[in-house]
């Protein structure tokens, strides 16, 4: 009898452990997101507050926005947090996502060496790119189908240049590595302001072009459609969306600062 009692206790213990593991797995959300939200430190600030409020863990896969959206198409993520509105709206129109919600914004800036030998400094991004295209000076493009890369290509198209210049180089890398390359080689690079403010290895790089309205950088959040991928955790994904666009979530975004400077500005429609 004692043997069977111990056996029953062991069996119950194993069952509880298995149930706990299953519960924890079901309460974990996979979010595919742009590298800027991760590398800027925003998620380290934002996600613990979300877990405290809901008990839900979020596993972030930080990629370029294009790759993050591809993850959603494959059903490898439950929710997207990205910044390429054209691509996001296409994702929704094709039925891969339920609905897109605006979350926050910041802006892009062109950074380069303090000497600014290309004479780009000012407010006009297309004028700056036109000047760079006429030189041999290195411009580092992320070249990774990210939201920043998509924006950069739009600005080049707006500039009307036939060639981006002999100094145009694609690194196929995230924002942090692209900034590191620019800092070590004295090159120019387009970056989101959030990653720039959190970037430590600046060397003599400084912001040269800012304030152009076209440099506006909007972020959106989307729950992946369970009709396309039935395994998607729609309920807890929607819980994250509801929280991040709520007054509490928006205040949490606004409170994230580096050296007293706010990195992202909440603008969810209430």
Q: pLDDT, tens digit, for every residue of 172-223? A: 999 999 999 999 999 999 999 999 999 999 999 999 999 999 999 999 999 9
In angstroms, the CA 34 to CA 31 distance is 10
In angstroms, the CA 144 to CA 172 distance is 5
In angstroms, the CA 35 to CA 146 distance is 9
Least confident of 17-21, 72-76, 140-144, 160-164: 17-21
In angstroms, the CA 256 to CA 43 distance is 10
The answer to whether 218 and 83 have CB atoms below 8 angstroms apart is yes
DSSP one-letter code for 222: E
pTM of the model: 0.85
- Structural domains of the chain, ranges and CATH numbers in brackets: 2-105+218-266 (3.40.190.10), 107-215 (3.40.190.10)
3-state secondary structure 38-81: HHCCHHHHHHHHHHHHHCCEEEEEEECHHHHHHHHHHCCCCEEE
Cβ atoms within 10 Å of 41's Cβ, excluding its own: 16
Mean pLDDT of 248-252: 98
Mean pLDDT of 47-65: 96
Question: What is the Cα gyration radius of the chain?
Answer: 22
Q: Write down the pLDDT at residue 269.
A: 85
């Amino acid at each position: 009898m004692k043997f069977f009692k111990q056996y029953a206790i062991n069996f119950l213990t194993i069952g509880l452990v298995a149930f706990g593991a299953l519960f924890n797995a079901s309460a974990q959300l996979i979010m595919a997101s742009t590298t800027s939200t991760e590398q800027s430190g925003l998620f380290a600030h934002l996600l613990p507050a979300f877990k405290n409020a809901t008990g839900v863990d979020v596993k972030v896969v930080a990629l370029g926005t294009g790759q993050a959206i591809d993850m959603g198409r494959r059903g490898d993520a439950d929710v997207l947090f990205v910044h390429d509105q054209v691509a996001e709206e296409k994702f929704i129109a094709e039925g891969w996502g339920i609905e897109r919600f605006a979350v926050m914004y910041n802006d892009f800036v062109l950074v380069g060496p303090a000497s600014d030998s290309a004479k780009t400094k000012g407010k006009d991004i297309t004028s700056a790119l036109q000047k760079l295209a006429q030189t041999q000076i290195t411009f580092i493009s992320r070249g990774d189908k990210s939201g920043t890369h998509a924006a950069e290509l739009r600005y080049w198209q707006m500039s009307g240049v036939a060639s981006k210049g002999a100094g145009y180089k694609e690194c196929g890398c995230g924002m942090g590595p692209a900034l590191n390359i620019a800092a070590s080689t004295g090159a120019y690079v387009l970056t989101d302001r959030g990653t720039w403010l959190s970037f430590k290895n600046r060397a003599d790089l400084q912001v040269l072009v800012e304030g152009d309205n076209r440099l506006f950088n909007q972020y959106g959040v989307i729950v992946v459609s369970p009709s396309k991928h039935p395994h998607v955790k729609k309920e807890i994904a929607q819980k994250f969306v509801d929280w991040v666009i709520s007054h509490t979530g928006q205040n949490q975004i606004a409170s994230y600062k580096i050296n007293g400077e706010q990195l992202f500005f909440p603008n969810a429609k209430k």
